[in-house]
Structure 1
Amino acid sequence: MTDIKLIVTDMDGTFLNSNYEISPEFPKVFEELKKRNIKFVPASGRQMAGITKYFQNIEHEIGFIAENGGYVVYQNEEILADKMQHQHIVEIIKTVREISGARAVLSAKKYAYYETEDQNFVDFFTKYYIKNKKINDLTEMIDDTAFKIAIYHPEGSEKNLYPFLKHFEEFGLEVVVSGEFWMDIMNKNINKGKALGILQNELQITPDQTIVFGDYMNDIEMLQNAKYSFAMQNAHPSVKEKANFLAPSNNDFGVIEIIKEYLQKNQL
Structure 2
Amino acid sequence: MEDIKLIVTDMDGTFLNSSHEVSPEFPEIYEELKRRNILFVPASGRQMLGITKYFGEIENEMAFIAENGGYVIYKNEELFADKLEENHMAEIISAVRNIPGATAVLSGKKKAYVETENQDFIDYISQFYTDNERREDLTLGVDDSIFKIAVYHPEGSEKNVYPVLKEFEKYGLEIVISGQYWLDIMNKNINKGNALEKLQKALNISPQQTMAFGDYMNDIEMLENSKYSYAMKNAHPSVKKAASFEACTNDNFGVLKIIKDYLNIK
Confirm or deny a common fold (TM above 0.5). yes
State the Cα distance separating 1:135 from its structure 2 match.
1.2
Aligned to 2:151: 151
- Structure 2 CA distance for aligned equivalents of residues 141 and 248 of structure 1: 42
TM-score after normalising by structure 2? 0.98
| Gap regions ≥5 residues in structure 1 | none
Deviations for 1:234-263, whole angstroms, at most 9, x for unmatched residues?
101110000000001101100000000000
Aligned equivalents of 1:167 and 1:50: distance in 2?
A: 29
1:87 pairs with 2:82: no
Q: Is the 8 A contact 2:117 2:134 kept in 1?
A: no
**Alignment coverage as a number of residue pairs:** 265
Query: 1:246-257 counterparts in 2 under 5 A?
Result: 246-257=246-257
Q: How far apart are the structure 2 equivalents of 1:140 and 1:56?
A: 36
The more displaced of 115-124 and 50-59 is 115-124
State the shift of 1:118 in Å: 1.8
Mean CA deviation greater in 115-124 or 194-203: 115-124
User: Equivalent residue for 1:179?
Assistant: 179
TM-score by length of 1: 0.97
Deviates more, 1:256-265 or 1:98-107: 256-265
SS in 2 for 1:139: helix
Q: Which amino acid is 1:158 matched to? A: E
**3-state SS of 2:117 partner:** coil
Equivalent residue number for residue 106 of structure 1 = 106
Name 2:123's counterpart in structure 1: 123
Residue ranges of structure 2 left out of the alignment (5+ in a row): none
Using the TM superposition, give the Cα deviation of residue 134 of structure 1 relative to its aligned residue in structure 2, in angstroms: 1.0
Shift of 1:120: 2.1
Partner Cα separation in structure 2 for residue 18 and residue 2 of structure 1: 32
Kindly provide the CA deviation profile for residues 28-66 of structure 1, in whole angstroms up to 9, marking residues without a partner as x. Answer: 000000110000100000000000000012000000000
Counterparts of residues 200-215 of structure 1 (less than 5 Å): 200-215=200-215
1:121 Cα deviation after fit? 1.4
- Find runs of 4+ consecutive structure 1 residues off by over 2 angstroms: none
Following superposition, the deviation at residue 141 of structure 1 comes to 2.7
Give the Cα separation in 1 of the matches to 2:207 and 2:91. Answer: 37
- 1:1-268 correspondence runs (5 A): 1-264=1-264
Q: Contact 2:215–2:236 at 8 Å: present in 1 too? A: yes
In structure 2, C-alpha distance between the alignment counterparts of 1:163 and 1:141, rounded to whole Å: 25
Give 3-state SS (helix, strand or coil) of 2:142's partner. coil
